[in-house]
Amino acid sequence: MADSSWPGCAKSLKGVILDLCGVLYDSGEGDGVAIPGSIEAVKRLKESDLQLRFCTNETQATREKFVAKLQRLGFDISVCEVFPPAPAAISVLKERGLRPHLLVHDGLLQEFEAVEKTNPNCVIIADAAENFSYQNLNEAFRVLIGLEKPILFSLGQGRYYKETDGLKLDVGVYMKALEYACDLKAEVIGKPSPTFFQSVLSDMGLKPHEALMIGDDLVNDVGGAQCCGMKGVQVRTGKYRPSDERHPTVIADATVDNLAHAVEVILSQRGLEA
Amino acid sequence: MADSSWPGCAKSLKGVILDLCGVLYDSGEGDGVAIPGSIEAVKRLKESDLQLRFCTNETQATREKFVAKLQRLGFDISVCEVFPPAPAAISVLKERGLRPHLLVHDGLLQEFEAVEKTNPNCVIIADAAENFSYQNLNEAFRVLIGLEKPILFSLGQGRYYKETDGLKLDVGVYMKALEYACDLKAEVIGKPSPTFFQSVLSDMGLKPHEALMIGDDLVNDVGGAQCCGMKGVQVRTGKYRPSDERHPTVIADATVDNLAHAVEVILSQRGLEA
């Protein structure tokens, strides 16, 4: 069933990029829970002629562990299809000869195991959850304030996300905290950084207008994708709030109830309805 | 000995306002330590014909306990001379019929004992130090995001302060964090709020040009006082950093090594040199 608010671009699409948390599943205790209909929706996309990638600001675990969790939840997904910020950050560190002080989730440390970290000349923060203690934030601050030219990388800039037991503060909040403390501007690696979206498009070999991003974060998923020339669709799951539909600057190309609905409309418009 | 960089205004002065932490003492383990020469400097000001008040963003203890600590360090100081943000905040709550959720230092809770706090319709944050855990910040965030018209009060907006074991993040950092999380602007109670400085001037019965502020925080002490029409002098103790003397917008009327030096110059210019 076609939705009248849907932009009639589905026929010219060649690829779809999905956010993970809030679109495929809600994080929380244990592995979290799959959002109803999303396992089947991913399966339908995979069976279609569309390319599919997953673009996430997830940084609480290594890519391998994170993908294993999604597989346990029932999703047909493999490591090479998933683009999180940490591997992108490691490339940047290498290019610029930087040694990071890390303020990240314990689960992400392994990803940085091979990275030189002694005598740090930059700070990397990611969604560290409980590790965002006063002491740890103060330690990151002292590293930055002690550098002649402080460099702060933030893996994403989200305000908050939704877990099964409620909203949780995300890394962007602590990025703003350190920016103010040290009077600097962080470099964001992850969504909505255009270089990050571009790396996913390159992997698919697609131009921006050939791809569609579906996410629950209006600014970072939808707005970020639109800034790159892609279409951006918001789902009413995860961190979605009704006020998103009255946002002063970011207007989604469509807002749909959930991923299952989005996929149904896309495939139906392409004449591939199951 | 007069300093050539000193603005020759000492003779027309009628009152001096001193910041506390970083000017009289450095906080840290136990009571902290008095900055050399400052006990004698306060004594000399008290023996002069100048009025003296203390204007602080200190919020780690009730005013009574805080003043008792300064007395133990050797300072001649009494409760009625000290202006911290918490009593000012309580007045604002009463005026506007607000019930706060508090994210403050344990030592400050007693100050708010008589304040109605059930079913909160605003959040107050102050320098909470170790209480700025992820869980506590998230709790304050959830209160704000759940209000139709979220109101956040920040007792001060400092970036950091100096304790005996190094620099520590101050409340302003967490104010910025919650501002970003909830997309709002906090109301600052304390320095550099003009109403806060004005309350001290009113207590002395002085006009702004008759008073001088001495502090270690260029923006909140010096800049704040200057915005009210007072002179502002920075001391090179506490959180002072050499880069303060190249600040793009705030230029102190004078920068001196410490409080003892400032008092020596003021009294010497007034012909009261000891």
3-state secondary structure chain B: CCCCCCCCCHHHCCEEEECCECCCEEECCCCCEECCCHHHHHHHHHHCCCEEEEECCCCCCCHHHHHHHHHHHCCCCCHHHEECHHHHHHHHHHHHCCCEEEECCHHHHHHHCCCCCCCCCEEEECCCHHHCCHHHHHHHHHHHHCCCCCCEEEECCCCEEEECCEEEECHHHHHHHHHHHHCCCCEEECCCCHHHHHHHHHHHCCCHHHEEEEECCHHHHHHHHHHCCCEEEEECCCCCCHHHHHCCCCCCCEEECCHHHHHHHHHHHCCCCC
Nearest to B60, CA basis, from B84, B36, B83, B42: B84
Of A129, A133, A173, the CB nearest to B177: A173
Confidence (pLDDT) at A3: 44
Say what the pLDDT of residue A272 is.
53
Q: Largest Cα–Cα distance of chain A, in whole Å?
A: 60
Q: What pLDDT, on the 0 to 100 scale, is given for residue B30?
A: 85
Contacts of A147 in chain B (CB under 8 A): none
- Amino acid found at B231: K
* Distance from C-alpha of A224 to C-alpha of B55, rounded to nearest angstrom: 46
Is B181 close to A166, i.e. CB distance below 8 A? no
Tell me what pLDDT residue A4 has: 43
Name the nearest CA neighbour of A120 among A153, A157, A84, A88. Answer: A153
What pLDDT does residue B272 have? Answer: 53
B-chain residues near A186 (CB < 8 A): none
Nearest residue on chain B to A175, alpha-carbon basis:
B177
A86: left (phi over 0), alpha (psi -120 to 50) or beta: alpha
Q: Give the gap in angstroms from C-alpha B159 to the nearest C-alpha of chain A.
A: 5
Number of CB atoms found within 10 A of residue B148's CB: 5
A-B C-beta contacts closer than 8 Å: 83
Helix pair angle (B171-182, A171-182), 10° resolution = 140
Length of chain A: 274
What is the pLDDT tens value at each position of chain B, 274 positions in all?
A: 334 446 577 888 999 999 999 999 998 788 899 999 999 999 999 999 999 999 999 998 999 999 999 999 999 999 999 999 999 999 899 999 999 999 999 999 999 999 999 999 999 999 999 999 999 999 999 999 999 999 999 999 999 988 878 899 999 999 999 999 999 999 999 999 998 999 899 999 999 999 999 999 999 999 999 999 999 999 999 989 999 999 999 999 999 999 999 999 999 988 854 4
Q: Could you report the per-residue pLDDT of A12-58, keeping only the tens digit for each?
A: 899 999 999 999 999 878 889 999 999 999 999 999 999 999 999 99
Q: Which residue from B206, B198, B199, B265 is spatially nearest to B14, judged by alpha carbons? A: B206
Please compute Rg for chain B using Cα positions.
19
* C-alpha–C-alpha distance, residues B132 and B140, integer Å: 10
Q: Tell me the ipTM for this assembly.
A: 0.83
Give me A268's structure tokens: 């139906």
Q: Which residues contact B9 (CB under 8 A, 6 or more apart)?
A: B212, B231, B253
CA B218 to chain CA centroid, Å, is: 12
Distance of alpha carbon A5 from alpha carbon A76, whole angstroms: 29
- The answer to whether the Cβ–Cβ distance between B180 and A176 falls below 8 Å is yes
Chain segment B84-136, per-residue pLDDT in tens: 999 999 989 999 999 999 999 999 999 999 999 999 999 999 999 999 999 99
CB contact under 8 A, A134 and B130: yes
Domains and CATH numbers, chain A: 10-56+191-269 (3.40.50.1000), 85-189 (3.40.50.1000)
pLDDT in tens, chain A (274 residues): 334 445 577 888 999 999 999 999 998 788 899 999 999 999 999 999 999 999 999 998 999 999 999 999 999 999 999 999 999 999 899 999 999 999 999 999 999 999 999 999 999 999 999 999 999 999 999 999 999 999 999 999 999 988 878 899 999 999 999 999 999 999 999 999 999 999 999 999 999 999 999 999 999 999 999 999 999 999 999 989 999 999 999 999 999 999 999 999 999 988 854 4
Select the residue from B125, B169, B182, B246 to test the A interface by mutation, using most A Cβ atoms within 10 A: B169
pLDDT (0 to 100) of residue B271:
81
Average pLDDT for chain B: 93
C-alpha to C-alpha distance for B130 and B169, rounded to whole angstroms? 10
Contact between A180 and B167 using a beta-carbon 8 Å cutoff = no
Q: Torsion over CA of A209, A197, B138 and A216, rounded to 10 degrees? A: 30
The pLDDT, as a whole number, for residue B19 is 97
Which chain A residues are within 8 Å of B132, Cβ to Cβ? Answer: 134, 137
Q: What pLDDT does residue A207 have?
A: 96
CA dihedral for A120, A122, A125, A130, sign (positive or negative) = positive
> Residue B24 is encoded by which pair of tokens?
């009289």
Pairing of strands B231-235, A160-163: unpaired
CB B11 within 8 A of CB B274: no
Looking at residue B239, its amino acid is K
pLDDT, residue A243, reads 93
What pLDDT does residue A6 have? 59
User: Which of A103, A131, A176, A185 should be substituted to probe chain B, the one whose Cβ sees the most B Cβ atoms within 10 Å?
Assistant: A176
